[in-house]
Amino acid sequence: MFMRLVEATVKKDGDAWLERVYADSILHALEQTPGCIFAGLLYSMDHTSRYMSLTLWESETHAQHYVNSGEFKKNLDRLRPVLEESSEWKIQLSKENTVEYKEVPFEPVVKSWDVSDPDSSLPGEVHAQRSYLRILSHKINPGNAAEFTRIYNSEVLPELRAVPGCRYAFLIDNSETDREMISFSIWDDPALLEHYERQGKFKELLDKLSHTLGDLYQWKMALEKRSKSAVATVTSQDIGVSRFTLVTGKKFI
């Protein structure tokens, strides 16, 4: 299975229009696209007017054909009227050695990965407005990807899927690019997700993987264990957490 994420920010008052076009046009177009298993529009719970389109594919070949055929651009163009344009500018010297300011063309952020648990199956029904996507980014030490994956799939994943409210979970291996392992989980109820995080189960599962994580993160954990009164420390290897609400989505296969 192969995943694509497309992230973009919507202009003020453009949320309803984007959600309607995605539900009425984008989902229909993707349903007709060979190899597309699932498509969903998600709204960030952390950043106002930030959306993400998540698609799952039978293979990277199917996803790449979708891009190369021009269908991805067609779908993106349907949404461009309400997508926030880039405010970034590039400064460069012209051939005449004068300074030029050129606006950087806007393009949404596109990320794609293989899913490391190919036997996992998406639930038959994912409820819009009542499902929540949680993304965890774990920075790992070089050479620990195989160990992280083994523990996650054999020990963490079965327990995580058994937690009340967790409908679906899987792992993305992004270690070769960013020394990162990404855990995705879909939840029915944000209260159950919060309970999972607060009552200690999340920490228990994270501890199983702690020895594979980055040195800075392990140093931070050791520091906090030695002194509970220590000032909170932030490192570049902290666990990254993102949450999204599923606005609309559909399973095709």
CATH number at residue 159: 3.30.70.100
- State the residue for tokens 């050695």: 97
**Is 228 inside any structural domain?**
yes
**Is 190 inside any structural domain?**
yes
Domain stops at, among 115, 135, 158: 115
The answer on 148 and 236 residing in a single domain is yes
Average pLDDT of the chain? 78
The answer on 138 and 76 residing in a single domain is no
The answer on 130 and 76 residing in a single domain is no
**Is 97 inside any structural domain?**
no
Q: Is the pLDDT of residue 91 over 60?
A: no
**The domain containing residue 208 runs over which residues?**
125-253
Pair of tokens at residue 228: 């509970």
**Is 242 inside any structural domain?**
yes
The answer on 75 and 158 residing in a single domain is no
Q: Is the pLDDT of residue 15 over 90?
A: yes
Tens-digit pLDDT profile for residues 209-236: 888 886 555 545 555 555 554 444 444 4
**Is 98 inside any structural domain?**
no
| Residue percentage of the chain with pLDDT more than 90 | 23
Between the CA of residue 184 and those of 87, 95, 135, what are the distances in Å? 31, 48, 5
Q: Is the pLDDT of residue 246 over 90?
A: no
Tens-digit pLDDT profile for residues 99-121: 554 444 455 666 666 765 544 55
Cβ atoms of 22 and 79 closer than 8 Å: yes
Cβ atoms of 226 and 108 closer than 8 Å: no
User: What pTM was estimated for this model as a whole?
Assistant: 0.72
How is residue 169 annotated by DSSP?
E
Q: What is the pLDDT of residue 27?
A: 94
The answer on 236 and 141 residing in a single domain is yes
Residue 31: how many CB atoms within 10 A of its CB? 13
Q: What is the pLDDT of residue 211?
A: 86
The answer on 250 and 132 residing in a single domain is yes
For the segment 165-176, the average pLDDT, to the nearest whole number, is 83
The answer on 247 and 135 residing in a single domain is yes
**Is 130 inside any structural domain?**
yes
**Is 89 inside any structural domain?**
no
- State the residue for tokens 């393009």: 107
Q: What is the pLDDT of residue 240?
A: 67
- State the residue for tokens 């999204």: 244
Q: Is the pLDDT of residue 178 over 90?
A: no
Q: What is the pLDDT of residue 191?
A: 87
Please count the structural domains in the chain.
Answer: 2
Q: What is the pLDDT of residue 121?
A: 55
The answer on 135 and 79 residing in a single domain is no
**Comparison of pLDDT for 220 and 202, the residue scoring more:** 202
Q: What is the pLDDT of residue 117?
A: 55
Provide the angle, in degrees to the nearest 10, between the axes of the packed helices 201-209 and 190-198. Answer: 60
